[in-house]
Structure 1
C-alpha cells in the first residue's frame, strides 16, 4: 500500500487494495531481504498436525478478520495460522515469498513475474472440475501460459452511479456512449452540483489510486492495453478517439475536481457534490443509505453506438499457493476446502461484512442480497460487461501508458507522439518478458 494512504481509514485502504489487480497497480513482487512469519511443520498448538500459514491484507470491513479465523479453525487436516497484515502488504508478501518462512497460502492478484519466477504453483487440478462455475473473466484473470494459478475469493467491480431524480430534472437518460456522457455531464452541471466525478485526477494521473479509467477507455473502444497475442493495443484509431473523448470530458468544465476523497470513496456522490460518479460495488450500501431508491447504475459507456461496448473492471482478490510451501499438496487441499468446497464461507465472506460478488456463479445467482433492485443490476452488469486485467500488463507498462494518458487528457499533448513514447516503453517490457 502506498505511504500516501497510511492516514486513511482502513475501509478506504481496503477499497484501494482491492483494486490493485483491476487497475494494474500490483505487479511483480520485487526481490528484497528479510522475512515475515514462519511455517511450523508440526506439533505446537496443532497437537501433532502440520501447520499452514495463510496471509491476508488488512480488510477494513468489521468482522472479516474474525470470520477468516473461524473458517481456518474448521479445517481438520492442519492447524491454519492466519496472518492479518496491516501496512504495506505487497512489500511484506514480496519478502515472505522469497524466504523459506513465508506464507503457504496467500491472497493477491496474478502477475506474470510471479509465474515466470516460479513463486506460485498451478492450481488446475483443484479448479478444473468446477471451472464452468466461474465466469470466463475470472478464469482469464487467474490464468497465464495455459495454467490456472489462483482461485478467486472476492469479485469487485465498478459502475457509473447516477441520481435518477437529477437526470430526470435535466431531461437526460443514463449514458450509453461517450458523447451521451459528455452531454449529460454538461447538462447536470448546475445549482452548485457538478455533472460527474471520476477522480481528482480526471481518471488518468499515475499517482496512487489513479488511472481509474485507463483500461476502460480502451475496452469500451474495442481494444485493450495488450492484444490477445501480447502486442500493444492502445495505438488503434479507436483507442485514440476514446482518449480524445476523455480529454473532451476533462476539458468540459463540468467534472468535479478537488473532492475531499477520491473516486473509490462515494462521499462526493452521497454529499451531493456531483450528480454522477464512477465508483465501486463496495460503495452501494452507503449510497443506498443516502438516497434510497433514487439512484441507478450503468457500466462505463461505449465509445459510440457503433464502436465498442460498455464495460467495467474485474477487481478483487485471489487465493494462491506458494511454491515454497512446506507441503504444497496440503496447501492446495486447504484452498480447495475453503474457496471451492465451502460455499457457506464464500458467501459469508463476500456479503456479510462488505458488499462483493461471490466468484462462484452458482453462489452469486442465489445470494439473496444480489437478487433485487440495483444489486441485481450490478450482478447483471458484472456478468455482461466485466473485463479481466491482463497478468502480462506490468507496472512499468502501466506507468508508461498512464503518463501518456495524463499528457493527452490533462495536458493537451499530441496523441500520436505521447502514445508512441508509451509504445516504446511497453515493447521494451514485452521484450524482457520474452527473453
Structure 2
C-alpha cells in the first residue's frame, strides 16, 4: 500500500473519483501509455500506483517478466492522482487489462470489473474471510486482495518515559498525552495533514460503523459527534503537528523528531526501525466514548480485471498465476519492501519476518482490533465524511449538523446503488 492509501489522495482527486468513472470522461487518457493498449492482442497492460518503498517497482516488473503466456507491460503511475489517471484511462482504448485499486461497489455495478469467483473459489478458504467479504457482491467475488495494510499510532517510548506518559487507550488519554509530549521542538501527535487518515478509525472506535449490514448509514451517532468535538480541541491546542513535509503514509515526521506520536501503516516499520532502532512502539486508535472500542484500520490493495477490456480471459489467467498460484512472489511482495500482511492465511502464518518484534505486535493488533473496507462505502461517501472532518475539526462547525448533512448525501448515494 505504502505511498497511497484509499484516503491519501488529494481532495480534488477524491471528489473527481467520487463522481464515479463517468465523470472522468472529459479527462485526457493517461500520458504514460506504451501506445499498445490492452486491446491490441499482443500483450497485457497492468496499472500500479507508485509505492513509496524502494524495490517495489522492480519486483512487480520482475514478476511480470517471469510470466511466459503473455507479454505484460507495467504502467507505474507516479504522483498523487493515481485514481484520476486510472479512471480516465479506463474510458479509453488504452485502458489497462489489469489494475490495482480498492473494492468499490460502483465499479461492480457499472460492469467495470470482472467476476473472479472461478479463479478464487478453489483457494477461498485460504484467504482471510474479511478480505473475501470486502470483495463480494451478490455472492460473486470481484478482485484478489494482494496485501493487507494495518494502520496504527506509532510512538517513541523514550519520549513517553521522559514525559511520564502511559500508552493511551481512550481519546481523552491520547489528547492529554499529546499535551504532555509537546515541547518547543516536538509536537505531541501527527494525524496526517488534513486528518482524513483517521476518518474510519474515529467511527469504529466510537462503537459505530460506516454502514449497517443492510447498507444504511451507521456513522451518525452522539459518540462520533463527541469524538469530532474532542479532535477539534486537539486541533486548536497547539499540540497537533500540521503541515508536515510529507503526509501520514510517510514515516518521516516521526523519524525526523517532529512528533512523538504518528498515525502511519505497518509498511513503514522497516524504515522506522532502521532510523530509530528499538525506540518505536504501536497502539490502536483509542476508544471514543464509553461504548467504544479501540480500532485498527486495515487498508491494502487488490488486483482487478477490466471487464470491458479485449483480453479478459488472458488477464484473468495472469491474475490467477501471479496472485493465486505464485505464493513465493506473494510473500516477497508482502514482506520484502516494507511490512504488509499476506491476505492468504497460510502465508501470513509462515511469513518469518512477521513472527517476532514489532511486526508480530502489528499482526496481533490487526487480528484483535482490525476493520476492513466495506465495498458499499464508496469514494463519494468517503468524500462526504471528509467534509465533516474539514467542517468540524479544522473549522468550528457543529458536529451533529455536519453528520446530518453527511447522512443525507450518503443516503442519496445508497439509493443510487441499491434502489
Offset from partner CA, 1:236-257 (integer Å, 9 cap, x none): 2222222223223323332222
Alpha carbons of structure 1 residues 376 and 78: separation in structure 2 relative to 1, 3 Å: same
Aligned equivalents of 1:396, 1:334: Cα separation in 2: 31
> Mean alpha-carbon deviation: is it higher for 26-35 or for 388-397?
26-35
Aligned equivalents of 2:132, 2:9: Cα separation in 1: 14
Other-structure match for 1:374: 358
Q: Structure 2: 5+ residue runs without aligned partners?
A: none
Would the aligned equivalents of 1:22 and 1:389 in 2 still touch at CA under 8 Å? no
Q: Structure 1: 5+ residue runs without aligned partners?
A: 1-13, 43-49, 204-210
Would the aligned equivalents of 1:263 and 1:277 in 2 still touch at CA under 8 Å? yes
Other-structure match for 2:4: 17
Other-structure match for 2:128: 135
Other-structure match for 1:400: 384
Other-structure match for 1:252: 237
Are 1:262 and 2:247 an aligned pair?
yes
Would the aligned equivalents of 1:29 and 1:90 in 2 still touch at CA under 8 Å? no
Tell me by how many angstroms 1:136 deviates.
3.0
Other-structure match for 1:84: 76
Aligned equivalents of 1:377, 1:298: Cα separation in 2: 9
What is the RMSD computed on CA atoms of the aligned residues?
2.5
Secondary structure of 2:133 counterpart? helix
Tell me by how many angstroms 1:414 deviates.
1.8
Would the aligned equivalents of 1:163 and 1:296 in 2 still touch at CA under 8 Å? yes
Offset from partner CA, 1:117-150 (integer Å, 9 cap, x none): 1011111122222223222332233223332110
Other-structure match for 2:272: 287
Are 1:38 and 2:47 an aligned pair?
no
Secondary structure of 1:365 counterpart? helix
Secondary structure of 1:242 counterpart? helix
Query: Which of 331, 356, 361 lines up with 1:347 in the alignment?
Result: 331
Alpha carbons of structure 1 residues 273 and 56: separation in structure 2 relative to 1, 3 Å: closer
Offset from partner CA, 1:5-26 (integer Å, 9 cap, x none): xxxxxxxxx7442344999945
Tell me by how many angstroms 1:309 deviates.
1.5
Secondary structure of 2:148 counterpart? strand
Would the aligned equivalents of 1:321 and 1:332 in 2 still touch at CA under 8 Å? yes
Query: Which of 308, 318, 338 lines up with 1:324 in the alignment?
Result: 308
Offset from partner CA, 1:277-323 (integer Å, 9 cap, x none): 1112222122212221111101111114x422211222221111111
Tell me by how many angstroms 1:101 deviates.
4.2
Alpha carbons of structure 1 residues 80 and 164: separation in structure 2 relative to 1, 3 Å: same
Other-structure match for 1:207: none
Aligned equivalents of 1:249, 1:337: Cα separation in 2: 48
Query: Which of 291, 312, 322 lines up with 1:307 in the alignment?
Result: 291
Offset from partner CA, 1:159-213 (integer Å, 9 cap, x none): 1111112212222221111122122122222353222111233x1xxxxxxx111
Are 1:274 and 2:266 an aligned pair?
no
Would the aligned equivalents of 1:351 and 1:357 in 2 still touch at CA under 8 Å? yes
Aligned equivalents of 2:99, 2:357: Cα separation in 1: 34
